[in-house]
Structures are given as structure tokens and as C-alpha cells.
């Protein structure tokens, strides 16, 4: 498997499959994205989220991404590139609304509704719990599929029961700050199902496909402020619900000073063994 960091950056460099249209055009703009070289045949949802972000930014370069809501109707195949068709549903001076369809030869593998904004000056107020100090080097750990530095004191692979909460500090190698939304979207897809499983004694995220079945069905992100991923960020998340074969979780992304820069939420299929 190639270097995962450079492999991911290559995947976020989408190829234009059709010429860029002028801002007033309403026809779709098409991009193509390559896939990560992973050790399993299906696409990782975080890759698709990151590519959704990049497709939106490329189709509407005068504005920043404000929010994204993605649905995943079927799994994608790693052996085939993904085609992203972006439709400008509305574009005004301050806001734009885009629709994106991700597809392969098998059909649609994902859709996204995206809101863009030019960014405006105004008063700021936030009400969030203070962030703790960044953890030390001794708490450095590895999270599968995240090719950058992670520090946490919590283990989502543990089979012991614990509250459905999880925090981790992360910092990428030095990178263009314009990639921050896509890289953050990628990271937020990984740990919410594992967080939901934490109260269940004897279960952990490593059991997917053997002990239980899980798959992300929808994922939403909100980007509140510009930020960098090569400076420390805290992902703080919790899962309040498992019910009817699904789990739900949500979280915040804060910088080292405690500034809230993004938020996210996810629903996933979660079929657990029956008692």
C-alpha cells in the first residue's frame, strides 16, 4: 500500500471532466476522482466526503463551503474512479447552493447538498466547553486510515464498557490551508460508529463485518470559520442513540485555543447481534 498521506492528497486533486462554466451557467460541471489504494475492495466514505468538498470548491471558487449533507445509497468500488456531477442550483452574491451526484458504472454511490458562502464580518459569540491542553507525545496513537498525528487517551478498540464519548487531538503534516475542509471531512467519518459502541460490553469497532454490520448512511458537516489542519485540532464527539438498527453521533472540531471551527453529525446502519 503506498504512502497513505500522499495517496489521499492525490485523491483530493480532482480532474475536470468538463470545461468550467461561467458563474451564470446552470448546467452541471463534472469532475473525476481517483481512489485510495487500501486493503479492501470498497471505497472509504471519508474519501468521498473529501472529494465532495473539493468538487464543490472547484465548481464555486468564489465562495467557501458552509455546509454539506451527504447520503450514501450503495458502496463504491475501489477499482473504478468516481464521477462527480455538480449542479449549481442557485448562486447569488453571498450564498450558493449546489447538488452533487457521485457515481460509478453501477450507478449512484453518493449524493450531497452543499451550501457555499462568501464569508462576512460580524460579531462573534460561542458557548462551548473549554478544551484541555494538547496531549503529550506519550499519548500518540494510530487510528486506521488517518495518515497524520493523533493523540488520545481513549481506545475505541477496547471491549470494556464506557460512555459513548470520544476525543482525539489531530495534526496533519504542513499542507495548503485550502485543503482543511476536505481533510477534516475525511477524518470525521472514522470514529462515530466506534463511539456509539462504547457502552456495549464485549463490542468494539473492530468487529464490523464479523460480530455486527455497520455502514454510514448519511453524514453532515458545518464549517464555521477558516482554520488549518497542520495546527492542532480537537475532535470532540458523542453518540446519544442506538435504535432501530441505526446509530447516531455528532461532534465538534475545535482548535488549540478552543475556537469552534466545524461541527459534524452522522447516522449509520448498525445491526447488532440479537440477545
Q: How far is CA 223 from CA 48, 56, 180, in A?
A: 17, 13, 10
Report pLDDT digits (tens) over 83-93: 999 999 999 99
Residues 97-107: tens digit of each pLDDT: 999 999 999 99
Euclidean distance between CA atoms 86 and 98, whole angstroms = 7
pLDDT surpasses 70 at 23: no
pLDDT at 41: 76
**What pLDDT does residue 19 have?**
55
Strand partners, 64: 117
Instruction: Specify which residues 264 forms β-bridges with.
Output: 221, 251
Closest CA relative to residue 219, chosen from 99, 87, 145, 113: 113
Q: The pTM is what?
A: 0.94
Q: List the beta bridge partners of residue 117.
A: 64, 95
**pLDDT band at residue 18, thresholds of 50, 70 and 90?**
low
User: Residues 191-245: pLDDT tens digits?
Assistant: 999 999 999 999 998 888 788 899 999 999 999 999 999 999 999 999 999 999 9
Q: What is the mean pLDDT of residues 162-179?
A: 97
Q: Residue 197: count other Cβ atoms within 10 Å of its Cβ.
A: 27
The pLDDT-based confidence of 25 (bands split at 50, 70, 90) is low
146, three cell numbers: 488517518
pLDDT attached to residue 274? 81
> Distance between CA 235 and CA 249 in Å, rounded?
13
| Residue range 33-63, pLDDT digits in tens | 999 998 877 899 999 999 999 999 999 999 9
How far apart are alpha carbons 23 and 232 in whole angstroms? 36
- Look at 115 and 120; give whichever has higher pLDDT: 115
C-alpha cell at 253: 472540531
Amino acid at each position: 500500500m503506498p504512502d497513505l498521506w500522499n495517496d489521499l492528497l492525490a485523491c483530493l486533486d480532482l480532474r475536470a471532466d468538463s470545461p468550467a462554466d461561467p458563474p451564470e451557467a446552470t448546467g452541471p460541471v463534472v469532475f473525476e476522482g481517483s481512489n485510495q489504494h487500501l486493503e479492501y475492495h470498497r471505497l472509504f466514505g471519508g474519501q468521498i466526503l473529501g472529494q465532495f468538498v473539493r468538487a464543490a470548491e472547484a465548481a464555486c471558487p468564489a465562495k467557501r463551503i458552509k455546509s454539506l449533507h451527504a447520503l450514501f445509497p450503495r458502496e463504491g468500488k475501489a477499482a473504478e474512479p468516481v464521477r462527480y456531477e455538480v449542479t449549481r442550483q442557485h448562486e447569488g452574491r453571498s450564498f450558493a447552493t449546489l447538488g452533487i451526484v457521485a457515481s460509478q458504472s453501477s450507478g449512484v454511490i453518493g449524493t450531497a447538498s452543499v451550501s457555499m458562502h462568501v464569508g462576512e464580518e460580524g460579531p462573534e459569540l460561542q458557548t462551548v466547553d473549554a478544551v484541555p491542553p494538547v496531549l503529550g507525545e506519550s499519548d500518540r496513537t494510530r487510528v486506521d486510515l488517518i495518515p497524520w498525528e493523533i493523540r488520545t487517551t481513549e481506545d475505541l478498540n477496547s471491549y470494556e464498557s464506557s460512555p459513548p464519548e470520544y476525543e482525539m487531538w489531530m495534526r496533519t503534516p504542513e499542507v495548503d490551508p485550502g485543503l482543511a475542509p476536505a481533510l477534516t471531512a475525511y477524518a470525521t467519518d472514522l470514529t462515530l460508529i466506534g463511539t456509539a459502541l462504547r457502552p456495549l460490553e464485549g463490542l468494539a469497532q473492530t468487529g464490523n463485518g464479523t460480530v455486527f454490520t455497520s455502514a454510514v448512511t448519511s453524514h453532515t458537516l458545518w464549517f464555521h470559520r477558516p482554520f488549518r489542519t497542520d495546527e492542532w485540532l480537537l475532535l470532540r464527539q458523542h453518540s446519544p442513540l442506538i435504535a432501530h438498527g441505526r446509530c447516531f453521533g455528532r461532534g465538534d472540531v475545535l482548535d488549540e485555543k478552543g475556537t469552534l471551527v466545524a461541527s459534524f453529525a452522522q447516522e449509520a446502519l448498525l445491526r447488532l447481534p440479537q440477545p
